[in-house]
Chain A
Amino acid sequence: MTWLRGLIAGVSSRILWALAILLALLIAAPALLGNYALSVLILMLYFACVGQAWNIMMGFAGQLSLGHALYAGLGGYAAAGLYFHYGLGPWLGVFIAIAAAVAAGAVVGYLGFRFSLAGVYFALLTIAFAEFTRIGFDNWPWAGGSGGLFLKVERNVTDIANLRGGPLLFYYAILILAAGTFVLCRALLESRLGRYWLAIREDAEAAQAVGVPVLRCKMLAVMISAALTAVAGVWNAFYYNNLFPETAFSVGRSIEMTLAPIIGGLGTLFGPIVGAVVLTGLGEIFTDASEIFHIAGLKQIFYGLALLIIVMYRPAGLWPWFAARLGIAERRP
């Protein structure tokens, strides 16, 4: 209870009520929504979850990663491969997945931080790791090579132990994951480590001068972020039941993960959630428009324009502006 009290300390009762209502609505959503709307909601929660994980690195610790698909891909492949080859369920497989992603994150982080690669140079390193992992998986028969790894799908089967089932099972799984990630990020932000990250983000040299263990903190940021992304990757692999190196480790996938926190509000807790809702929602609206007007690619044009407008007029993201309007401005760490 002390932990919980610490977690909600300083949060107004209005926000707590709003969060409780939002959670209740999300729990009740499957009863209120059709399958299509539910699948869109699942996408929103997934992007909120991976966005939250990426936000730890960039938003909290100020380290730009453009290769986060590496961790999601590794996590997904590890758990799916173990299930496919040895029947090991994802609840156990997820620990192997986390270990693999954390190890990869540690290597990327150590190489980058130990040799003081920062900004775009660090970003290039993350892209490079994702790329050569893709090439490795393209040629690794255990993982199905470039032909892909496929998990079997059965109709009318709900097997929670092996994460096999319909959209409802995956909805609640990603809801728990997204909520858990949100709470963890809040706890991290309120912890000493969180303060250290913010100090490093603002000025790494000054932070080091006052005794912040910069290398260790940065390493923890990349490893925690990698672990959370890997868990989302496991969910993703079992939801879609297929993995291809070309898509699992692609730069495009990495960029997708960064959009929600950037549009929502970098470094904020609600930013990735707002960003995921806005981007996925806009995407669906523009998809419908493309279908109505029978113009292929219309979505991409308007989607790009919408992003441009948001970035131009709300460079700090949508959430800080929206929160200020509602009078519940989140303290930007």
Chain B
Amino acid sequence: MTNKKSFTRRNLGRATVAGAALIGAPLPLRYGFAQSPANLKVALLLPTSGGQALIGQACKRGADVANDVLADMKIAAKLEIVNYDTESKPDVSRTQAEKAIEAGAHVLVGAFDSGQTIAIAQVAEQRGVPLIVNIAAAPPITESGYKFIVRNFPTAPMLIGGAFNLHKETFKASGTTPKTAVLLSLNDTFGTAMIGGIKAMFPKFDMPYELVDIITYDAAAKDLSVEVAKAKATKADMLMPVCRLNDAKLMIQELVKQRWEPMAVMNPGSPGLYEQDFLKTMGKYGEFHISNVPWLDPKSAMTTSLEARHAAKFPNDQLDINGGFTFEAMLIAAHAWLAAKSTKPEALMEALRKVKIDQHVIIGGPIQFDAKGQNVGIKAAAVQNLKRKPTVVMPLESAAAPLVFPEPGWNDKRRV
């Protein structure tokens, strides 16, 4: 009777579930057990809901695989990452930062948006807890004299300067230089800051082309036919878009409709063209455009690990710079903790100021911070859409594929 009882259908089911859980224990858990005990508590503050939810979630994915990649790279640190949603609002960001510190966070990481980051920065500064900024380009974040903040993301002038240098490198490598360019930009916070920066920096960089016009459009525009027609009328050789995802799609659709085939669609440091949804939606018309932005170094072993881990955990999502920079923020926290050998805020901050990380994922020199807490070693890369994937083509030392410049016409056979 006893034997019969132990083989009931219910017991068999339980045994199967337990066995499957044991055998199929996810890899991250195994690596986690192999690493040192988690005692650096990192609060990750991101807009995972609200207007910036998609980008916030892309950032979070980079952090979700951080412990696995650290294990792959034999970095003996395991982070306890606790997620906090800022709801894309500065007031919520501030409250969430207070909550995180009260819950015992040793380091704060966030928050993609400048307004939210500043709100968190104040709490970090007042409570003396280090904040590692993953993404936020507003210069005041590191220009306000904060003592507990480091930023591993370029400021708007750094983005533009890097893009201008890459433009020159691209022309030199291809042997083709456009004589004129037109800037087509949205007029939101980011777009206006970029236009201001471009106007100020263009003369200083002695660019080989003339900027014949700057055309702006509303961030909520549903049709860009007039703006594209105006840009086409300038007969510029090159189109420089400063855009986000949806307007990037509208813009390219109009270019195709109006049969305008500029030598290149090459942005001066903006999102939109390299994004997963853009590539999926635009198909062959999304190919060959170039984005000049910080990017993952395809020749770094850590990038290979990050890409593999990301692909395994999120097979339907593309790893981009949002995930890349957020992963790097985790990497910085881990290095600081290993150097400080303590979770005390002052010790961690001291370690952050002295940190020098040679092996990381974003193209550029070692991660280290200047006196203001800014990493000035981040380099931009020219990322060209090739075979539905943003691919680094410049600088040459990091290139994963040869550059295609000028880009083929809309009906060219190379567009498949």
Contacts and interface: CB of A to CB of B under 8 A. Distances in A.
Given A138-B187, A147-B138, A240-B90, A153 B144 contact: yes
Contacts of B126: 153, 155, 166-167
B53 interface: yes
B57 A296 contact: yes
A306 to B, nearest CB: 16
A138 B218 CA distance: 12
A297 B49 contact: yes
B91 interface: yes
Nearest to B86: A287
Contacts of B127: 35
A150 B102 contact: no
B303 to A, nearest CB: 26
Residue with the greatest number of chain A CB neighbours at <10 A, chosen from B49, B50, B187: B49
B244 to A, nearest CB: 13
Contacts of A147: 138, 189, 192-193, 196
Given A154-B145, A240-B90, A241-B118, A294 B95 contact: no
A246 B87 CA distance: 15
**Binding site of B, secondary structure by majority: helix, strand, loop or mixed?**
helix
A291 B83 contact: yes
Given A153-B121, A167-B126, A287-B85, A35 B102 contact: yes
A166 B99 CA distance: 16
B90 A155 contact: no
Interface string B111-126: 0001100110110011
Given A150-B144, A296-B53, A40 B95 contact: yes
Nearest to A243: B115
A278 B89 CA distance: 19
Interface in B116-165: 118-119, 121-122, 125-128, 138, 140, 144-148
A152 B144 contact: yes
Interface string B188-228: 11011100100000000000000000000000000000000
A284 B148 CA distance: 27
A290 to B, nearest CB: 6
Interface string B39-75: 0000000001110010011000000000000000000
B101 interface: yes
A236 B87 CA distance: 18
B379 to A, nearest CB: 24
A148 B94 contact: no
Contacts of A154: 125, 145
B95 A145 contact: no
B328 to A, nearest CB: 22
Contacts of B48: 296-297
**Interface band, chain B:** 35 or more
A43 B125 contact: no
B115 A36 contact: no
B115 A242 contact: yes
Contacts of A39: 94-95, 98-99
B325 interface: no
A145 B196 contact: yes
B115 A146 contact: no
Nearest to A38: B98
A139 B196 CA distance: 11
A218 interface: no
A299 interface: yes
Contacts of B87: 287, 299-300
Given A148-B114, A155-B125, A36 B138 contact: no
A191 interface: no
B188 to A, nearest CB: 6
B84 interface: yes
B101 A146 contact: no
Given A147-B189, A150-B138, A240-B90, A300 B49 contact: yes
A148 B189 contact: yes
Nearest to B93: A240
Given A147-B138, A153-B146, A155-B125, A43 B119 contact: no
B188 A246 contact: yes
Contacts of B146: 153
A167 to B, nearest CB: 7
A146 B193 contact: yes
Interface string B348-391: 00000000000000000000000000000000000000000000
A139 B191 CA distance: 12
Contacts of B192: 138-139, 145-147
A283 to B, nearest CB: 8
A40 B94 CA distance: 10
Contacts of B57: 296
A244 B118 CA distance: 12
Nearest to A149: B140
A291 B189 contact: no
A327 interface: no
A36 B140 contact: no
Contacts of B189: 138, 146-148, 244, 246
Contacts of B128: 155
A148 B138 contact: yes
Interface string A137-181: 011000001111010111100000000001100000000000000
Nearest to A35: B98
Contact of B84 (A40, A246, A247, A291): A291
A148 B128 CA distance: 25
Nearest to B137: A147
Interface string B255-286: 00000000000000000000000000000000
15 contacts: A36-B102, A38-B98, A146-B192, A150-B140, A153-B121, A153-B126, A155-B147, A241-B119, A242-B90, A246-B188, A247-B89, A284-B95, A287-B87, A291-B83, A291-B85
Which 6 residue pairs across A and B have the least CB separation, nearest first? A296-B48, A150-B140, A146-B189, A146-B192, A297-B49, A36-B102
Interface of B: 48-50, 53, 56-57, 83-85, 87, 89-92, 94-96, 98-99, 101-102, 114-115, 118-119, 121-122, 125-128, 138, 140, 144-148, 187-189, 191-193, 196
Given A147-B189, A148-B138, 12 more contacts: A35-B127, A39-B95, A43-B91, A148-B189, A155-B148, A167-B98, A244-B115, A291-B84, A294-B83, A296-B85, A299-B49, A299-B87
